[in-house]
Structure 1
Amino acid sequence: MTDHARHLDAHYDAPGVDSPGVQNGLGLLTRLRAAFRDAGFDPDHLTLDEIAGIDQLHLGGRRASRSLAAQGELAPGSRVLDVGCGTGGASRLLAAEFGAEVTGVDITAAFIEVAGWLSHATGLDDRTRFLCADAAQTPLASATFDAVWCQHALMNMPDIAAVLAEWRRLLVPGGTLLLHEVVVGSDTSPLCLPVPWARRPETSHLRSRQSLEALLAEGGFAPVAVQDVTETALAWRRKHSQREGDGAPSGPALPGPALIFGEVFATMGRNLRDNLAADRVRIIEGVWRSG
């Protein structure tokens, strides 16, 4: 395992990494299955609504994924590579609602194990598959995918040029890139940390919109439609921060992101809200075409 992968494991499976005697991957899967049982649900038979709290770890949740998919005009049967797939929420949404055939890739082994379980539990394992790999170097065949999908993952990738080169290799000629990404805002002062993608400055690889768009152009991707969706993202984050601050509900609750990030997740959410409000970060979504 590379240092980069270890840092991401330590961030995205913090309770499993920090708890003595708990193995990476197995720890997260075990915790989540137990949480569903404790809430009165069968962990092997779940719905997409029941797993919503743990299956899309990005701003805007399923609504943001639907917005991006609509922009990309994904046709039924489209072969999609979901990069930085996490626990596989976007992969399952694209399969269930848009008829896509999706391969999810993530460098965090615990996420891949959970993604496979959740797809099986929701009956979507025939249209989704998951692979633990570095986005800059996958074992997948060239010209395999019609579209590359990436939501809130580039800011965890230090070598974006290598990642973009790999995406071009994997896409068919004229293939589509769909991005929903965090970028640096106009206020360049240090971020309030921790945030959902980083606990320390050295693990955050944010770029400005201008820098990201320049790298995409250099990598052979031409913009089709790009928009700033910061205000929508901020409204969503404010609503969820308020909900998280209301305290735990009475009785068993469905699993949420605190089981993945640890109890610090509520602080991460508030910091992200404040970073958005101060314009330290912004959110863009868009479609690019591979040349």
Structure 2
Amino acid sequence: MTLKGTPGEAPQGTPGSQLGQHYDAKGSLLARLERAFVEAGCDPDHLSHDEMAGIDQLHLGGRAASRRLMALAGWDAGQSTETEQISDKREGSPLDAFAGAGTGSSGAARLLDLGCGTGGASRLLARELGYEVVGVDITPGFIEVATWLSRACGLEDTTRFVCADAAELPLGDASVEAVWCQHALLNMPDLAAVLSECRRVLAPGGRLLLHEVVRGDNPAPLSLPVPWARTPEHSRLLSLKDLEQHLLAAGFQRQALEDVSAEALAWRSHHRRREQGGADRRAHGGSNTDQAQPPRQEGGESSPQASGPAARPPIRPRLPGPALIFGEVFVEMGRNLLDNLSDDRVRVVQGVWQHHPLPRT
């Protein structure tokens, strides 16, 4: 795919256009979210990380899961370099191709966020680890939103986003230290091509960090829709064994792996109760409002507040959440995902794989 330097449009009939219809079924995602923040009493041009938490990271576990993957890789806040031999002034550096996509430095991108969605992980990595991150997603609406959210929280100089196919990355060879990917491989039809591209853009010894949904041991069909698919043909789930075989064939050797299904199930159960409460209010003629929400803590949780009449805040709309992206069907998606996790039809894993040269044939 040719990089235009601005959010592109996926041709109709391509996997990108089909995913765009799934993740932005109503269209005008950016306008809807901006309007929702205004209705919630926020300035859409100046948002805190907690205000955007509900739409920031669209994967199981939210920011806590992202931080757990960072820890699994041995990354601590403030430490961002693995392969310092990559020059910030490399000729033809990946960010050179992003001219016009936003302001910022012209140094080499250190990390690729593959299937970045609305860019939450990119911002977390830039803010807490000091990385310069390029986010790639095939859904144009996500790229527009990711660019806006980074600008709104002051991270436009260290995060860039482009609409592109993961099987045809618009980055130079050996141009990034690591590839980060959360809940994205499950939508990619040609995994071999995607992993080949990951290997190409990684510097020698670079690492691939994955947080993925995989098939469980229960062979029963998935309950659909789920957040990544409304129909079976859009779900590309593999078993963990098959995924690892693909990784090994592409030249990636496992460094660390953990099953986080129990944590994902607990997180989804908690959010399912909150989502169902909102759906029940709407079904009985209520609106998407509540007592003014206390500031959300990291991961989208609300902080405790004082009780009693004197401490009761005024009523105002809730901050935007995933239902504004997926539509009313999101409540059903969440319920089905919970059922699939509970029945071991799906599992959730996190792991780190290192790039090693493939043997010559």
Q: TM-score band, normalised by the shorter chain?
A: over 0.9
Partner AA of 1:278 in structure 2: D
Map of 1:3 onto structure 2: 14
- Please tell me the residue identity of whatever aligns with 2:246: L
Kept in 2, the 8 Å contact 1:77–1:101? The answer is: no
Which secondary structure does the structure 2 equivalent of 1:15 belong to? coil
Report the 3-state secondary structure (helix = DSSP H, G, I; strand = E; otherwise coil) of the residue aligned with 1:46: coil
Residue 44 of structure 1: how far off its partner (Å): 0.2
Report how far residue 70 of structure 1 moved.
1.5
Deviation at 1:49, TM superposition (A): 0.4
Paired residues of 1:65 and 1:90 also in contact (CA < 8 A): yes
- What is the aligned partner in structure 2 of residue 137 from structure 1? 168
1:147 equivalent to 2:158? Answer no
Q: What SS is found at the alignment partner of 1:213?
A: helix
In the superposition, the TM-score normalised over structure 2's length comes to 0.77
Taking the TM superposition and a 5 Å limit, the aligned residue runs for 1:24-173 are 27-74=28-75, 75-76=79-80, 79-173=110-204
Match of 1:15 in 2: 26
- Measured in 2, the distance between the counterparts of 1:240 and 1:128 equals 29
Larger radius of gyration: 2
Please list the CA deviations of residues 115-151 of structure 1 after superposition, one character each: whole Å capped at 9, or x if unmatched: 0000000001111000100001012111110000000
Confirm or deny that 1:288 pairs with 2:353.
yes
What residue in structure 2 maps to residue 252 of structure 1? Answer: 317
CA distance, structure 1, for counterparts of residue 144 and residue 277 of structure 2: 32
Cross-structure match for 1:279? 344
Amino acid at match of 1:140: L
The TM-score with structure 1 as length reference comes to 0.95
Q: CA deviation at 1:77?
A: 5.0
Structure 2 residue 220 is the aligned partner of structure 1 residue 189: yes
* C-alpha displacement of 1:76: 2.2
Measured in 2, the distance between the counterparts of 1:164 and 1:259 equals: 32
1:172-251 equivalent positions in 2, closer than 5 A: 172-247=203-278, 248-250=288-290, 251=316
What does the per-residue CA deviation read over 1:21-76, in whole Å, with 9 as the maximum and x for residues that have no partner? xxxxxx11111101101111000000010000001000000000000011123432
SS of the aligned residue for 1:134 comes to coil
Question: CA RMSD, aligned part only?
Answer: 1.0
Distance in 2 between residues matched to 1:124 and 1:92, nearest whole Å: 7
For 1:47 and 1:262, the matched residues in 2 are separated by 24
Name the structure 1 match of 2:327. 262
Deviations 1:200-219 (A, max 9, x none): 00000000000000000000
* Structure 2 counterpart SS, 1:194: coil
Q: Which runs of 4+ in 1 moved over 3 A?
A: none
Per the alignment, in what secondary structure is the counterpart of residue 254 of structure 2?
strand
The separation in 2 between residues aligned to 1:71 and 1:142, in whole angstroms, is: 26
Query: Equivalents in 2 of 1:244, 1:261: separation in Å?
Result: 13
Q: Distance in 1 between matches of 2:353 and 2:81?
A: 20
SS in 2 for 1:222: strand
For 1:47 and 1:34, the matched residues in 2 are separated by 16
Name the % identity: 62
Say if 1:15 and 1:259, in contact at 8 Å, map to a contact too. no
Question: Structure 2 regions of 5+ residues with no counterpart?
Answer: 1-10, 83-109, 279-287, 291-315, 357-361
1:254 & 1:147 partners in 2: Cα distance? 33
Secondary structure (helix, strand or coil) at the match of 1:255 reads: coil
Matches of 1:15 and 1:67, distance apart in 2:
33
Q: Name the count of aligned residue pairs.
A: 281
Separation in 2 of the partners of 1:229 and 1:249? 33
Counterpart CA distance in 2 for 1:176 and 1:139 is 19
